[in-house]
Structure 1
Amino acid sequence: MPDTVTSPAELAQRIRRLAEQREVVIVGIAGYGGSGKSTLARALQALLPDAARVRGDDFLDPLGSRDRSDDWLALHRDELAAVLEALRAGRPADFLPVDWATGGRQPARVASVAAVQLVDAVGLLHPELLPLLDLTVWVDVPLETATVRGMRRDREAGDDHDALWREVWAPNERAFDARHAPRERADLRYAPPVPDSP
């Protein structure tokens, strides 16, 4: 059973120890939509001056994410894998982020080389990506709680995605769980100290 950490500082210390053993450490931060993956990634980036972040949302097709899938097919894993492979080799990586407003692509960006690479995404702990991740972390928030958080976050941003959360995204998470068991595959579980109640 994976160990549990309860603070970003504790997790950052584990990452530092791993970074002492290799030139580049790629940390995969997974969890349900709305669980706090991005929040944890930002907190770790603030604690680890030598860390860079690869946002999973830059590789998540906004149109494809409206479809039911047991494999989170909307995540462009091949593109994300190419970026991670380059970063592991110490090379910056060009990529074309998706555009959530239009469904197309944004102008090219460059993922910078860093000793620690943090990547957060839904559908991340997948057999195609696991070999590229040196440390995997599951943000351990129940699906119901994460879904409520996600709906609230979107409404606060002016987007009513409640139907998508209930009818597509939460079912996709359950189906991905059944197929790939990401919570059990993770090296560590991160338990936020005071999870919200649904």
Structure 2
Amino acid sequence: MAYPGFVPVRQLVLVDLLGLMLAVRPAERAVIAVDGVDGAGKSHLVGELVALAPLVAGRQVLGVSMDGFHHPTAQRYARGRTAQTYYRDAFDYPAFARLVLEPFRAGREIVAAAHDVSTGHPVSPDPVEADDDAVLLVDGVFLHRPELVARWDASLFVHVPFEVSVPRGQARFPGRRHDGDVDPEHPAHARYVGAQRFYLEQAPVQQATWVLDNTELARPQLLHGDHEEPVV
């Protein structure tokens, strides 16, 4: 039951998180990674923060998803469909740097996607202007990998166990469901869960500026950089 003036816990946590992000590189453009496994809720979280920003801050917040920078299908699967090839071959990081990171750092417009993974076609969305002190949130998997980690001014790791993230991720594609598909150990998930387990061995949580435990959507927990003490 909701009471007049009642503010849900999730909104309180997101306001705190947004405040931390807005403190990064004040008066300059800043890029913040929002990392986590598939199904952690990264893209939805970025959408919430972008929508919340005009209500609580005087600084522009923009969102870009690494999903817009998948390689074409043939290139993604050229070396097989294993966990290792998903980690190595799924994303076009040079295109992301050329269209997003480099122009954003240089004070120019960005192009938020290069490829539509659902259709297999290249895309050319309209360029997006950003304020001189804009904060750019980039969501995706593997964002603390060695070739990317130094590109961010700060980073968030969205933590969700596979027992929660896999069913949550599968719920986005009801037409693809099959028996056992909510079990992380099901063979259907070997490519994606396997790649993410390999990535988690690189300790992205320890490298992140903040960690958000997003397991319980209504009551997420935001952790400081020591990853031990909850903010809320």
Q: TM-score, normalised by structure 1?
A: 0.82
What are structure 2's unaligned runs of at least 5 residues? 1-11, 55-59, 219-232
Larger mean Cα displacement after TM superposition, 126-135 or 61-70: 61-70
Alignment partner of 1:59 is 2:69? yes
The structure-2 alpha-carbon separation of the partners of 1:23 and 1:194, relative to structure 1 and needing over 3 Å to count, comes to same
Distance 1:37 1:182 in 2: 15
Distance 1:125 1:109 in 2: 28
Q: Which residue of 2 aligns with 1:77?
A: 93
1:87-126 superposed matches below 5 A: 87-94=104-111, 97-114=114-131, 115-126=134-145
The structure whose RCO (Cα within 8 Å, separation 6+) is larger is: 1
Distance 2:31 2:37 in 1: 20
The correspondence for 1:191, drawn from 205, 209, 213, is: 213
What are structure 1's unaligned runs of at least 5 residues? 1-5
Q: Which residue of 2 aligns with 1:177?
A: 200
Say which SS state the counterpart of residue 93 (structure 1) adopts.
coil
Alignment partner of 1:68 is 2:77? no
Q: How many residues align?
A: 187
Q: How well do the aligned residues superpose, as a CA RMSD in angstroms?
A: 2.5
Alignment partner of 1:24 is 2:29? yes
1:61 Cα deviation from its structure 2 partner: 3.1
1:97 Cα deviation from its structure 2 partner: 2.3
1:125-140 superposed matches below 5 A: 125-140=144-159
Distance 1:142 1:165 in 2: 18
Distance 1:153 1:101 in 2: 13
Distance 2:136 2:204 in 1: 20
Higher-Rg member (1/2):
2
CA contact (8 A) 1:30 1:123 kept: yes
Runs of 4 or more consecutive aligned structure 1 residues displaced over 6 Å after TM superposition: none
Using the aligned pairs only, state the percent identity: 28
